[in-house]
Amino acid sequence: MPTFVEMATMATTAIKLASDLRNIDQGLAASEAKLKIADLMSQLADLKIGISELRADSEGKDAELVELRKAFAFKGETVEVRGFHFETRDGKPVGEPFCPICLSKGKFYRLTWSRKPGRPYTCQVCPAEYSNAPAYLWSDQRGS
């Protein structure tokens, strides 16, 4: 399977060949041939644009894949307690839990303590609230 660059090069070459053919004059039927060649050039140009879009989309997906791999690698460094994931220090949970809804989307946002009645933990990104979320002290290794 050719790469995107090779496909774009092939399309560019085909457009140039079609352009050269358009310049050939063969009498009365030449105008009809020129019209078909112009259509061919238009379709090849669309192909080249499509290839460029596919390449950009592929690069975007590659970047997203790298981000997801980093997120899942970090998730491996967390510990689950009562359905909430925490960062670990020496294998033990520390700090506030990550938002379970955001975590399911591969994003690591910590819940924060709310000033609402009952003092639930809330996510600053999504509207989630948790009244039963546990929290742990940060260890002395963090510098506090």
pLDDT digits (tens, 9 = 90+) for 70-102: 766 666 688 899 999 998 888 889 999 999 999
Please tell me the pTM assigned to this model. 0.50
Domain boundary among the residues 50, 74, 98 is at 74
Report d(CA 123, CA 96) in Å as an integer.
11
In the chain, beta strands by DSSP E: 78-81, 84-89, 92-94, 111-113, 121-123, 129-130
Of the three residues 55, 74, 93, the one that is the final residue of a domain is: 74
User: Residue 142: its pLDDT value, please?
Assistant: 45
Same domain, 113 and 125: yes
Cβ-proximal residues to 27 (8 Å cutoff; 6+ apart), any chain: none
* CA pair distance 91, 62, nearest whole angstrom: 32
Q: Compute the average pLDDT of residues 1-8.
A: 69
Assess whether 85 and 24 both reside in one domain.
no
Calculate Rg over the CA atoms of the chain: 29
Q: Is residue 50 located within the same domain as residue 103?
A: no
Domain that includes residue 49, residue range: 4-74
pLDDT of residue 105: 86
- 98 in the same domain as 59: no
Task: Give the number of domains in the chain.
Answer: 2
The rounded distance, in Å, linking the Cα atoms of 14 and 17 is 5
Q: What are phi and psi of 35, to 5 degrees?
A: -65, -45
Q: Which span out of 59-68, 71-80, 88-97, 133-142 was modeled with the highest average pLDDT? A: 88-97
Higher pLDDT, 110 or 20: 110
For residue 144, is pLDDT > 50? no
Averaged pLDDT, 47-55: 82
* Domain final position from 39, 57, 74: 74
> Are residues 85 and 134 located together in one domain of the fold?
yes
Q: Are residues 18 and 56 in the same domain?
A: yes
Q: How many H-runs (helices) and E-runs (strands) does the chain carry?
A: 3, 6
Q: Are residues 56 and 104 in the same domain?
A: no
CB 133 within 8 A of CB 84: yes
63 and 86 assigned to the same domain: no
Q: Looking at the structure, tell me whether residues 82 and 98 fall in a common domain.
A: yes
Report the pLDDT value the prediction gives residue 143, as an integer from 0 to 100.
43
Scored b (16 or more CB within 10 A) or e, 66-103 reads eeeeeeeeeeeebeeeeebbbbebeeebbbbbbbbebb
Q: Are residues 122 and 132 in the same domain?
A: yes
- What pLDDT was estimated at residue 81? 92
Q: Which of 87-96, 105-114, 135-144 has the lowest mean pLDDT?
A: 135-144
**Whether the predicted pLDDT of 129 surpasses 90:** yes
CA distances from 50 to 4, 38, 39, 56 (A): 10, 18, 16, 10
